[in-house]
């Protein structure tokens, strides 16, 4: 259980998460979290308090999960599993549960050797070059992604993205997938599983976010605008009143599925639900962030200030305390039936297509 | 990197623009746009200088005021192929720093704010950083019309990024305000790698389109502040209805101040 371990000091950048304890005596100390991300020298006292309390929560959840798996002999979607997932999947089980709930495991089992064949086939140079441009620019603050790391996750990332680009030619490579695949690799520590999970996300869970027209992405940003208009009209009035488009404020939220927007642990908790409940969860997170900070947003004095405030609301103890945050996303935004989301998506999509 | 192959979408913008007179034939499309919109009597976009804003939203172009943009901001947008160093250039300008290997690829569109002191006047710049990958243009092109200035970058070590400049200019011509301030920058000039694009190539292209041009380095800081200062000066001047100071000429300024830089008039 990674989060049972406190942040540790790393001697040099070549250590992987599995061996980091061995390096704590070296001269140069870098504080990293259990995923290999560098941490600030001085954590916020609120963050420290949370970090010391959260392991107990995780231990309790881990015990419950272990009993559930033992009793059922596996994970299938059910109301109980949904409740369990919302309360968090322990890191050690995360890859297994994501694979099972998203259908990725099934696809992987049905297509033995497929991933390797993708990597052995002829390569599209434009896809390869686009991926290589981003390798050094993916998690430079993570010691496992450094060129000098052993094993170097940059190479793993490159393979997963290459395979995916050739598997789904309609998407190829889209910036943002590097961050998503990067997190999948950090969680699964397995190239092939990361590939199939990426396939589940891009191919089935998210509606056309990454294709050349990015229509699904643009649609969902419009949908968020509609939801804010319905649920938080004052914020919508402010944003629209100053001619702001939602893309400028939230594009990264959707494209990167909150990677590098919210704290790592919070992102992974969001993804737990994303793999089980689908893309609707992204609206819940966005709406919760906006609702919680409604007054703060409404104090914006001009456009620059508004943009800044939308960055600030993704930081601080509200989002670091992921356990409470995840409870809030299911209570704060109120009811959000899938039928309503589907209807809004259809309407916004038609509007975008009409605009050309 | 795939070339941003976009079919030319006609010349309707050229046709719509009010023509103050003079024969525009024989000029490049971009020059024609500049000719038609840089006249002394033209109302310019971007009333950026604080304290010079009159209640009538002085100097705001129609589209900008429709978008409701607060008039005391200059919106500067950075565009160019993926990996040419847009974010690095911005960070160098904003924080004066270059930390190799700490930059992450920009996804969608990102923003930063910076206040510059231009000859005793505070000019607020809102800096919009964009993803270079072609498909993101469908997300970012809506922002072109709100930009008062565009910095178009290529990487001097990447011929492909230079070859794509024409396509970027087409994109800009189709989506940006006709009087947008535009500057061409050849970045990474510090690079020890062989320069695939010679300075003369950049100069030639700039001359062809009538753009101010400089080679820059986000790593060493060469010409970075100058590029943004030049933009801020130009925007400040445009925001004043009746400038009291001598007329600021962007081309002359860049030519005079640029270190190892050059500027090419059409």
Q: Give the domains, in start order, of chain B with CATH numbers.
A: 73-261 (3.40.50.300)
Among candidates A94, A54, A60, A101, which has minimal Cα distance to A80?
Answer: A101
The answer, yes or no, to whether residue B243 has pLDDT greater than 60, is no
Nearest CA in chain A to B84: A133
Domain boundaries, chain A: 48-205, 215-355
What tokens appear for B119 in the block?
């000859």
The answer, yes or no, to whether residue B246 has pLDDT greater than 50, is yes
Which residues on chain B are in Cβ contact (under 8 Å) with A137? 83, 103-105
Across the A:B interface, residue pairs with CB atoms under 8 Å apart total 101
Contact B233/A at CB under 8 A? no
Q: What is the mean pLDDT of residues A91-97?
A: 96
pLDDT at position B256: 86
In the structure, what pLDDT confidence band is assigned to residue A248 with cuts at 50, 70 and 90?
confident
- B107–A251 C-beta distance less than 8 A: yes
The answer, yes or no, to whether residue A21 has pLDDT greater than 70, is no
Among candidates B136, B153, B134, which has minimal Cα distance to B84?
Answer: B153
Contact B103/A at CB under 8 A? yes
**DSSP structural state of residue B220:** T
Among candidates A228, A144, A148, A214, which has minimal Cα distance to A175?
Answer: A214
A200 or B245, greater pLDDT:
A200
- B136–A175 C-beta distance less than 8 A: yes
- B135–A214 C-beta distance less than 8 A: yes
pLDDT at position B84: 97
Residue carrying the six token digits 């981003």: A134
Antiparallel, parallel or unpaired: β B121-130 and A8-10: unpaired
pLDDT per position as a tens digit, A123-169: 999 999 999 999 999 999 999 999 899 999 999 999 999 999 999 99
**DSSP structural state of residue B136:** G
Cα angle B258, B263, B266 (rounded to 5 degrees) comes to 165
- b/e A28-44 (16+ beta carbons within 10 angstroms → b): eebbbbbbbbbeeeeee
A209 or B36, greater pLDDT:
A209
Q: What is the mean pLDDT of residues A236-261?
A: 92
Evaluate whether A4 touches A58 at the Cβ level (below 8 Å). Answer: yes
- A141–B102 C-beta distance less than 8 A: yes
Residues 6+ apart with CB under 8 A from B10: none
What are the residues facing B215 on neighbouring strands?
Answer: B186
pLDDT at position A39: 85
Nearest CA in chain B to A356: B138
Cα angle B40, B43, B44 (rounded to 5 degrees) comes to 95
Phi then psi for residue B49, to 5 deg, are: -80, 125
Share of chain B above pLDDT 70, in %: 68
Q: What is the mean pLDDT of residues A314-328?
A: 96
What tokens appear for A251 in the block?
């594009």
A294 or A305, greater pLDDT:
A294
pLDDT at position A28: 53
Q: What is the mean pLDDT of residues A185-197?
A: 98
| CA gap B109, B144 in Å, rounded | 12
Helix (H, G, I), strand (E, B) or coil at B129: strand
pLDDT at position B17: 30
What tokens appear for A36 in the block?
């290999």
pLDDT per position as a tens digit, B39-95: 333 233 343 444 333 332 223 333 333 233 434 689 999 999 999 999 999 999 999
What tokens appear for A202 in the block?
């891009």
Residues 6+ apart with CB under 8 A from B242: none
| CA gap A243, A221 in Å, rounded | 15
Share of chain A above pLDDT 90, in %: 81
CATH of A215-355, one of 3.30.70.100, 1.10.472.80, 1.10.580.10, 3.20.20.140: 1.10.472.80
| CA gap A33, B160 in Å, rounded | 39
Q: What is the mean pLDDT of residues A101-116?
A: 98
Q: Between A129, A139, A248, which is nearest B143 by CB?
A: A248
Which pTM value belongs to this model? 0.84
CATH of A48-205, one of 1.10.443.10, 1.10.8.270, 1.20.1050.10, 1.10.3470.10: 1.10.8.270
- A136–B104 C-beta distance less than 8 A: no
| CA gap B259, B214 in Å, rounded | 9
A242 or A342, greater pLDDT:
A342
pLDDT at position B255: 84
pLDDT per position as a tens digit, B128-177: 999 999 999 888 888 898 999 999 999 999 999 999 999 999 999 999 99
Q: What is the mean pLDDT of residues A80-89?
A: 97
Q: Which of A170-179, A339-348, B18-27 has the lowest mean pLDDT?
A: B18-27
- B107–A176 C-beta distance less than 8 A: yes
| CA gap B71, B240 in Å, rounded | 12
**What is the three-state SS of chain A?**
CHHHCCCEEECCCCCCHHHHHHHCCCCCCEEECCCCEECCCCCCHHHHHHHHHHHHHHHHHHHHHHHHHHHHCCCCCCHHHHHHHHCCCCHHHHHHHHHHHHCHHHHHHHCCCHHHHHHHCCCCHHHHHHHHHHHCCCCCCEHHHCCCCCCCHHHHHHHHHHHHHHHCCCCCCCCCHHHHHHHHHHHHCCHHHHHHHHHHHHHHHCCCCCCCCCHHHHHHHHHHHHHHHHHCHHHHHHHHHCCCCHHHHHHHHHHCCCCCCCCHHHHHHHHHHHHHHCCHHHHHHHHHHHHHCHHHHHCCCCHHHHHHHHHHCCCCHHHHCHHHHHHHHHHCCCCCCHHHHHHHHHHHHHHHHHHC
Same fold, A48-205 and A215-355: no
């Amino acid at each position: 259980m990674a989060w049972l371990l406190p942040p540790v000091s790393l001697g040099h950048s070549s250590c992987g998460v599995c061996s980091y304890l061995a390096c704590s005596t070296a001269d140069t100390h870098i504080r990293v979290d259990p995923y290999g991300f560098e941490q600030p020298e001085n954590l916020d006292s609120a963050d420290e308090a949370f970090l010391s309390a959260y392991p107990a929560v995780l231990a309790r959840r881990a015990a419950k999960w272990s009993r559930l798996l033992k009793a059922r002999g596996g994970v299938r979607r059910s109301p109980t599993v949904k409740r369990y997932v919302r309360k968090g999947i322990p890191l050690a089980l995360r890859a297994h549960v994501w694979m099972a709930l998203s259908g990725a495991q099934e696809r992987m089992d049905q297509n033995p050797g497929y991933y390797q064949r993708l990597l052995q086939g002829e390569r599209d140079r434009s896809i390869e070059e686009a991926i290589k441009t981003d390798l050094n620019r993916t998690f430079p603050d993570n010691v496992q992604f450094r060129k000098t790391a052993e094993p170097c996750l940059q190479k793993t990332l490159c393979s997963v993205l290459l395979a995916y680009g050739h598997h789904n030619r309609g998407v190829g490579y889209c910036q943002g997938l590097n961050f998503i695949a990067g997190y999948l690799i950090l969680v699964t520590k397995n190239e092939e599983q990361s590939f199939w999970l990426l396939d589940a996300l891009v191919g089935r869970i998210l509606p056309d976010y990454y294709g050349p027209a990015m229509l699904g992405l643009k649609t969902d940003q419009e949908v968020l605008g509609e939801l804010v208009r319905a649920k938080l009209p004052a914020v919508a009035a402010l944003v629209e009143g100053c001619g702001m488009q939602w893309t400028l404020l939230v594009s990264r939220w959707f494209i990167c599925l909150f990677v590098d927007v919210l704290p790592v642990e919070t992102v992974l908790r969001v993804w737990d639900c994303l793999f089980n409940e689908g893309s609707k969860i992204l609206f819940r997170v966005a709406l919760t962030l906006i609702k919680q900070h409604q007054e703060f947003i409404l104090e914006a004095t001009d456009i620059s200030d508004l943009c800044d405030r939308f960055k600030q609301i993704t930081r601080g103890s509200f989002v670091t305390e992921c356990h409470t945050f995840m409870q809030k996303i299911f209570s704060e935004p109120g009811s959000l039936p899938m039928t309503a989301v589907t209807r809004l998506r259809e309407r916004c999509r038609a509007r975008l297509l009409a605009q050309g | 990197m795939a070339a941003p192959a976009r079919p030319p979408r006609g010349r309707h913008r050229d046709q719509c623009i009010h023509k103050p007179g003079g024969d525009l034939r024989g000029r490049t499309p971009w020059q024609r746009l500049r000719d038609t919109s840089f006249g002394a009597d033209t109302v310019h976009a971007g009333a950026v200088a604080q304290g010079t804003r009159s209640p009538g939203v002085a100097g705001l172009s129609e589209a900008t005021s429709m978008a409701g943009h607060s008039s005391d901001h200059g919106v500067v947008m950075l565009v160019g192929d993926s990996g040419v160093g847009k974010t690095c250039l911005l960070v160098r300008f904003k924080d004066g720093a270059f930390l190799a290997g700490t930059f992450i690829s920009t996804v969608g569109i990102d923003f930063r704010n910076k206040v510059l002191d231009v000859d005793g006047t505070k000019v607020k710049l809102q800096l919009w950083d964009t993803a270079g990958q072609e498909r993101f243009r469908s997300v970012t092109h809506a922002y072109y019309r709100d930009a008062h200035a565009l910095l178009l970058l290529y990487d001097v070590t990447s011929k492909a990024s230079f070859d794509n400049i024409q396509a970027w200019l087409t994109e800009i011509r189709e989506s940006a305000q006709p009087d947008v301030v535009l500057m061409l920058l050849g970045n990474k000039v510090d690079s020890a790698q062989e320069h695939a694009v010679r300075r003369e190539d950049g100069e030639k292209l700039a001359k062809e389109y009538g753009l101010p041009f400089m080679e820059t380095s986000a790593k060493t800081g060469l010409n970075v502040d100058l590029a943004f200062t030049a933009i801020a000066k130009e925007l400040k001047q445009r925001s004043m209805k009746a400038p009291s100071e001598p007329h600021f000429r962007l081309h002359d300024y860049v030519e005079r101040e640029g270190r190892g830089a050059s500027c090419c008039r059409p």
